[in-house]
Amino acid sequence: MTPDASESTAITETPIDAFESSLVLVSNRQPYSHRHEDGEIVVDRPVGGLTAGLDPVMQQIDGTWIAWGDGDADAEVTDENDCVRVPPDDPNYTLRRVWLSEDAVDEYYYGYSNQVLWPLCHDLIGKTNFEDRFWSRYKTVNEQFAEAVVEQADEESVVWFQDYHLALAPSYARAALPETTLFQFWHIPWPTWDTFRVCPQRHELLDGLLANDLIGFHTERYVENFLGCVDACFEDARVDTDSGEVEYDGETTLVRAFPLGVDAERIGRLAGERDGSFWSEFKAEYGIPEGSHVAVGVDRLDYTKGIPERLDALYHLFETRPEWRERLTYVQKATESRSDIPEYQRLQSQVDERIDRLNERFATDSWRPVVRIDEHLTNPELYGLYAHSDLALVTPVRDGMNLVAKEYVAAQSDSDTEDGVLVLSRMTGAHGELGDTAVTIEPYDEAALADQIEEALTMPDHERERRMDALRESVLENDLDTWLASLLGTVQGLRRMNTEQADDRNRQETKS
């Protein structure tokens, strides 16, 4: 999905102005990439919900964003310090690029990040691949990111590391920036000690993360798991589970839950902008018969998302309850992801085989049970699809949060369409907030999932509306702005405290 940056709204209700130009954001993925096309250099816009969401924040405060320069023309537009001003049409913040060789991408990104930390944190130990070269490279690439941070930041700065690609960079940066406020948001689950202790590099990873002043997770459960791991791993760490504070190596780190939300107002608005003919044209284009219910699934093709499990439940439904044939169409928008990793290639084949099996077994002259969308959908098209679908199937076997569930709810605000039903796995972070009023499912229970899909399809109108009203209220209240305000408000408090402590130290040194 490539949301159009021009569709993003400015974030105005957060304490971000307090950061002015001092925010240094560090992530693996960059918000803009430059590439060659037909002899010209073109710019690709923010990819993914969060990158698109943080871009307006950076524009507002003129901060610095450090990220891997993965575009084939990136190096041609940067200056001698590897920086370029963005957005290209109206430059108002700095993008500092970090250059990675093909081997580095292979071993740090496809290797340690996505074959060790990703499966480990999703409790899928059987899918981990602990190769030595992955770990060595993860260390050197984290050093590279940290060097860029040290060049861009000073003690007044606030440095925000994103996600599991950068677990070691905080401790590398801390050595050169002892007074700077460092914090990190971890977008995926944190496992229990029983899982995490399998990792040979557990000490180094925790040591790296604890160089932050603040670590944010999506849910309280991940916070508890993380604190439990620190407690079990380091005898000399003091862990206060009530306050979420860790004292380790002479420093204090605050560990808190900040459940990420979506820009609900914008999604609702864009979903409503689709004109009256959108849905009938969409159905005609993809061969969905009039009168058929539509269930939608939107995912990166990842083994954590429970896509084969979902398809098996649909097979079970059509097999055991033939009355749903021709009356329910499942629309799958799945985008290829991390295809260089064998585990992901296997998943792609499993999904293809299941879709073929469903369509071969049940299709009629005028209907296919599964419609697969491979084309790019613009944001309004995606949100329009959400708004018109009767249900969303969000069935991960494990997921840090899952923004698709929240986007589906946000898109239901269009008054022209009937409210849909959110079918949501207990194993997502989003279930903590939405589980009471969504239809809760167990991803591994194929027969029960089939029953619950039927329950969602036959839910009485008043019950559907009641549930969607409650979901909408929650998603609108806990949106992207709320998340930013809460996270950055906490950081601002810590920063003030750091400054006061540094001033105290300076005063005492002057006295003595």
Footprint of ligand ADQ (CB under 6 A): 1, 48-50, 187-188, 260, 298-300, 333-335, 382, 399-404, 407
Residue with smaller CB distance to ligand ADQ, 54 or 210? 54
Residue with smaller CB distance to ligand ADQ, 177 or 476? 476
Nearest residue to 91 (alpha-carbon basis) of 79, 107, 103 = 79
DSSP state at residue 184? E
Supply 35's token pair.
Answer: 């590439």
Q: How far is the CB of 385 from ligand ADQ (least distance, A)?
A: 10
Beta bridge partners of 423: 393, 439
Burial 427-465 (b: 16+ CB within 10 A, else e): bbbbbbbbeebbbebebeebeebbbbbbebbebeeeebe
Residues 6+ positions from 445 with CB-CB distance below 8 Å: none
Q: How far is the CB of 389 from ligand ADQ (least distance, A)?
A: 14
Q: How far is the CB of 248 from ligand ADQ (least distance, A)?
A: 25
Q: How far is the CB of 336 from ligand ADQ (least distance, A)?
A: 9
Supply 493's token pair.
Answer: 């408090």
Residue with smaller CB distance to ligand ADQ, 390 or 407? 407
Q: How far is the CB of 54 from ligand ADQ (least distance, A)?
A: 11
Residue with smaller CB distance to ligand ADQ, 128 or 499? 128
Residue with smaller CB distance to ligand ADQ, 208 or 297? 297
Rounded Cα distance, 292 and 392, in Å: 15
Burial 272-290 (b: 16+ CB within 10 A, else e): bebeeebbeebbeebebee
Residue with smaller CB distance to ligand ADQ, 53 or 239? 53
Residue with smaller CB distance to ligand ADQ, 234 or 383? 383
Residue with smaller CB distance to ligand ADQ, 164 or 324? 164
Q: Cβ distance 389 to 282 under 8 Å?
A: no
Residue with smaller CB distance to ligand ADQ, 211 or 334? 334
Q: Cβ distance 466 to 39 under 8 Å?
A: no
Q: How far is the CB of 128 from ligand ADQ (least distance, A)?
A: 17
Q: How far is the CB of 383 from ligand ADQ (least distance, A)?
A: 9
Q: How far is the CB of 151 from ligand ADQ (least distance, A)?
A: 28
Q: How far is the CB of 90 from ligand ADQ (least distance, A)?
A: 24
Beta bridge partners of 440: 424
Supply 123's token pair.
Answer: 């409790």
Cα separation values, 26 from 147, 158, 162, 167, 236, Å: 12, 11, 6, 11, 30
Positive or negative CA dihedral for 20, 142, 231, 116? positive
Query: 180: buried, middle or exposed (CB in 10 Å: 19+, 13-18, 0-12)?
Result: buried
Q: How far is the CB of 300 from ligand ADQ (least distance, A)?
A: 5
Other beta carbons within 10 angstroms of residue 498's beta carbon come to: 17
Q: Cβ distance 390 to 396 under 8 Å?
A: no
Residues 6+ positions from 301 with CB-CB distance below 8 Å: 307, 334, 335, 336, 337, 344, 347, 348, 351
Residue with smaller CB distance to ligand ADQ, 100 or 404? 404
Residue with smaller CB distance to ligand ADQ, 60 or 332? 332
Helix ranges (DSSP H) in 321-363: 342-362
Q: Cβ distance 252 to 246 under 8 Å?
A: yes
Q: How far is the CB of 401 from ligand ADQ (least distance, A)?
A: 3
Q: How many H-runs (helices) and E-runs (strands) does the chain carry? A: 19, 18
Residue with smaller CB distance to ligand ADQ, 139 or 372? 372
Intra-chain end-to-end CA distance of the chain, in Å: 59
Rounded Cα distance, 14 and 484, in Å: 6
Q: How far is the CB of 1 from ligand ADQ (least distance, A)?
A: 3
Q: How far is the CB of 504 from ligand ADQ (least distance, A)?
A: 37
Residue with smaller CB distance to ligand ADQ, 120 or 239? 120
Query: Which uninterrupted H or E stretch holds 475?
Result: helix 461-477
